[in-house]
Every structure is written in C-alpha cells, then in structure tokens.
Chains A and B, each alone.
Chain A
Amino acid sequence: MRSILTVYRKELTDHFSSNKFLVLLALIYIAGLSSTYVALQNIRESASGLGKYVFLYLFTTGGDVLPSFITFISFFIPIIGIIFGFDAINSEKNSGNLSRLLSQPIYRDSVINGKFLAGITTLSIIIASIVFIISGIGLFSIGVPPTSEEILRIFFFIFICIFYGGFWMGLSILFSVIMEKTAASILTAIAIWIFLMFFLPIIANAIANGIAPLENASVADQIRNFNIGQGILRISPSTLFAESIAILLVPTARLFQPTLLNIVQTPPQNPLSLGQSLIQVWPQLVVIVALAIICFAISYIIFMRQEIRST
C-alpha cells in the first residue's frame, strides 16, 4: 500500500509542478469566472422569474458571447483527462525510469494505480475548486444559499465530472501503455476526442436526415429524426455526459428535449426531485462510470502483462 501512496504522491507533485497544470488551471478558472459573470448578469436581470433552483443557474446560464460553465467544462474535462494521462507509462519507459522503478520492491500495479489516482486527484482538485469558487461568488452576489437539494446536485455534478474525466484519463493511459511514443498517444487520444466532439454530431445529423428527412416532415417524423440522431450521438460519452449534467443541474429538464443546454429560454416546467432526475440519467451515469473503469482496467491488464524489455 505504501508504494501506491509513494508513487501517488510523487505523481501528484509532478502534476502540481508542471506547467501544463498551471495552464489548464488558469484556463479553467478564466472560463469558469467569465461564464459566472455572464450568468450573474442574466440572473440579476431576470431575478424575479427564476423560480426555485436559482443557484444551479450559475452553472447552466450562458450569454450570447460566452457559453455556460457546463459547456466550458464539458469541453475542458476531456482535455484535462488526456493531458494528465497520455504520457503516464510511455514516458517512463522512454526515459528509462520504468525498469529502475520496477526493480524496486513494489508491485507493478502500484505504478499505474498511483499514476491514475494522482491524475484523478488533480482533475478533482481543479474541478471542485472552480465549482466551489463559483458557488462562493454566487452566494456572495445572489445572496441566496443553495437548498440542500441543490448542494447534492452540485456534488453529483462534481462526481460525474470526475468519472467523465476518469474515462478520458483511462483512455489516454491506455494509449500510453500501448504506444511507445508520447506524441502518438496524445494525438490518438485527441483525434478520438475531436471525432466524438465535432464529427459525430455531423454524422448523426446526416444519418438522421437520411432516414427521416426533415423537409415537410410530420411531427412524428421530426421526433423520429431527433431520436435517430440522439441515438447515434449516445455512442459518444460526451453526449452521455452532456445529458447527465444537463438533467442534474436543471431540475426542470426532461431528457426528451432537443435543446437541453439552453435552459432559461425554455418554458418553465415543474422541477423534478433529485431522485427523479437521477433516474432519468441513470443509464448515462452507469455507462460513464463503466467506461472509465473499463478503460482503466484494460490499460491495467495490458500494463501488467507487458514484457519489460531490455531496450
């Protein structure tokens, strides 16, 4: 156990000393603070019409120029995950540290476990700190403390973010195990991210329009079109993540709504209880957690079976 802790602490120190950490932290803080500023403007302007869950609007409200915090965060989490995972194993191999490390009396999995945990901790610190800072600012300027349900929702949100980041980190660690070169592993991970983020929606749209064209379509066909598109998009963990956090942070949201992220404009509906919201996105949550675990497990197994070669 101590060896995991030792590797963990060393890796954590590495992350916190690295420039990439500082850059990411700064980026996320800037994004978070500016989106909060916009959200606060909107909240203050339409303060009377916001209903019960005002606090959550801090995270879900965007403006014309800046998107909301959850949009930012769904963009940044994969990047954090990839950046803190892509060189986990192959850089150790290339620098010649791995065989020296493994010749110490530690189990081999201590290395990969310690690294994964350190990455997850770093990710958690980044996300939790900005969420808490935003909450502080919100409390300061809205003047309404969040309800206990809102607090629970925010904590769930942080957990989902961490698991989602864990998925990307697991994936990039997997590439760092399989691929010798760090450049190859980061490029592969980023290629997958770009595909899921930008190309899959285009493909899903094209397929949906091919099967159920929107021109002169009946309502049933429009719904069919939406369902096909969304069905394809759900291959992507980013879609699952977007759906889960939208449902979690917007108590009034229902899954079947074409525009999930732009909440303030949609007509108000009765808010769901936390349990109901969770039930709606339960499959999404399970898949995200499972994907994170599977990705890490595969890299774990491959790493444990990998031959240590002399050169």
Chain B
Amino acid sequence: MEIIKRKLPVFFIILSLTLSIILMVPAALFAQEEETTEEEIVEPEPEPEELIFDTKLPKIQAKEGETFSFNFDVAYKPGDEPFGIEEGKSEKTFDITVDYPTGWIAAVASGSTEAPAINLKFNSTESLRLVAIPLITQQPGEYDFKVTFNSAVEGDTLEGSIEFTAVAPPTYEINLTTKTGMLSTELTSGKDNHYKLIVTNNSSTSVENISLSSTEPEGWQVSFDKDKIESMEADEKIEIDVTINPPEKTIAGDYMLTFGASSENSNDSFDLRVTVETPTIWGIVGIGIIVVVIIGVAVIFARLGRR
C-alpha cells in the first residue's frame, strides 16, 4: 500500500502530462492552421528558443548504498531565431552542470558515458540519465539534484534545468557478535560462565526495543544482564553480559548455542560453538579410578607373577 501511495502523485503527474500532450497536439495543429489563416491578420508572436525537459520519475527512492538513476528527456526547440547558430547548422551545444548535495556524486550520462556537454539537434528529443551515487550512508531524508543545461554559445543566455529528488529511506541494522570476535569458547559445566556479547546499532537512525534471545541445548541456563534494550542511537555499541550455565551432567564436548538480537525492523544472530570442559572433580575421580585399577593389576602381578 505504501508504495502505491507514494507513487500516486507521480502517476497523476504523468497522466496529466500525457493527457495534456495528447490534447495539445491537435490543438496546436489547429492553432497553426488557424494561424496560417489568421497570420495576415495578426502579427504572430515569434517562436522563442527553448529547452524542454521531461521526466516521468522526478523523485525516486533507493535502498541504501544503491545508485540512483533518473531518466529524463530533453528537447531543444530552436524557435524562429536560434541564437548564435550558423546557417545550415541544425544543432546547438549545451554544457551540462549538475548540482548535488554533499556526500553524493552525480553526473548526467547518455547510455553508459558521462556527458559534461551535449549537442542537441533541433526539434529532437534526447534521452538522458542522471546518475547519483551516495558516497556515504545517507541520513534518511530527501536530497535534491538539479541538472542545468547552459548554451555553450558565448553571450547566449539560453538555459534550462530539471530538478530531481532522491529519497534515502532510514536503514535499520543491528549487529550482534561476541566481544572477542571469536565464535567459539570453552565453558565448564555446573557453574556460571560469563561471556560478553556486543550489540551494535548500524542503522541510520536510532532503534527502539531490542530484545535478546538465545537457543541453547536442553537443560542449559542462559541469561543476559539485560534482555531488552530500550533504545539505541545510531552507531551506538552496547556490551551485554551473558551467563551460560551448562547443567552439572553435561557431557564434555561441543555444543552449539545461538544468540539473537531483534528489533522491529532488524535482527541478527550468530552461532557460538561451546566446548564444555570436564569439571575438575570428575577428572580427578576418573584418573583415580584408572590409577587404582592399574595399581591393582600391578599388585596382582607382583604377588602372583613369577618373574
């Protein structure tokens, strides 16, 4: 729905323009016929020299980091007395300048070539493109671009321009990772192991209501020092202390835990490979058993063997 809402005005503009062109062409023809008939009567207004710009989409929106591309048509009408055109020539050269906001770079291109200047034939329409590239992550908002055609003929004041608007929507990105950046760790079963996570708001705007979650093997206890972040400014980093408690009877070995952070617009998660170490007590008991058995066998040997 949102898209349609946004595009509706554009649509109307296009519709009305097309309608007006369709309606005006016969009218103009009529007018001409009338003029020829009425020429002798009324001194006709001299046809002015002019540049006519036309575009279907003067305002577009693109995802963050994407190049904006505005298509437009330009037509040059020499009028009755084109300024500074030699006899027999039927084109005029214009310099193209583009005004763009900081943080952008923009240029007019024809096909795939950048065009700082252009020759426009009389009464023909040229399809051009304004390419605008955001150089940095843009704050959400509207950015205006203006393409101006200036006659390259000295003394000529002929000039035309068209304006475009690029709309940068707000971006939402939160990142969750470990403080160390390592995606594996070692834990001891049966006790609280502390571990640090980092939440980063890489959005272009502040983000509200970030909740932290975890998926852990059955019986494990995982808790965060805060499992909800009220609000985070753009580029803010928050350290989360997570407490992982594998149950007493966890088999030593590798386990996968998944941590996630999610807000309304964005979420992130990662898998942490956890190697559970044996609690020392069982290690000692285990070694104790082995030692006792080996000593036992050795004693039997010593007492019974005849070596």
Contacts and interface: CB of A to CB of B under 8 A. Distances in A.
A43 B275 CA distance: 12
Interface stretch (A59-67, A131-139, A190-198, A245-253): A131-139
B230 to A, nearest CB: 34
A137 B286 contact: yes
A143 B283 contact: yes
Contacts of A43: 251, 253
Contact of A136 (B279, B286, B300): B286
Nearest to A41: B253
B302 to A, nearest CB: 10
A45 B273 CA distance: 11
Nearest to A140: B286
Interface stretch (B14-22, B57-65, B82-90, B288-296): B288-296
A125 B278 CA distance: 29
Interface of A is mostly: helix
A236 B294 CA distance: 34
Interface string B274-287: 00111100110111
A121 B287 CA distance: 25
Contact of A44 (B254, B279, B294, B296): B254
B256 interface: yes
Interface of A: 9, 12-13, 16-17, 43-48, 50, 54, 125, 129, 132-133, 135-145
Nearest to A144: B249
A47 B252 contact: yes
A138 B249 contact: no
Interface of B: 189, 217, 249-256, 276-279, 282-283, 285-290, 292-294, 296-297, 300-301, 304-307
B306 A13 contact: yes
Contacts of B297: 125, 129
Contacts of A140: 278, 282-283, 285-287, 290
A142 B286 CA distance: 10
Most B CB atoms within 10 A — which of A48, A133, A137, A141? A48
A50 B292 CA distance: 29
Contacts of B252: 44, 47, 141-144
A129 B293 contact: yes
Contact of A17 (B254, B292, B296, B307): B307
Contacts of B286: 135-141
A47 B254 contact: yes
Nearest to A134: B290
6 contacts: A43-B251, A45-B254, A48-B253, A132-B293, A139-B282, A141-B252
A50 B250 CA distance: 10
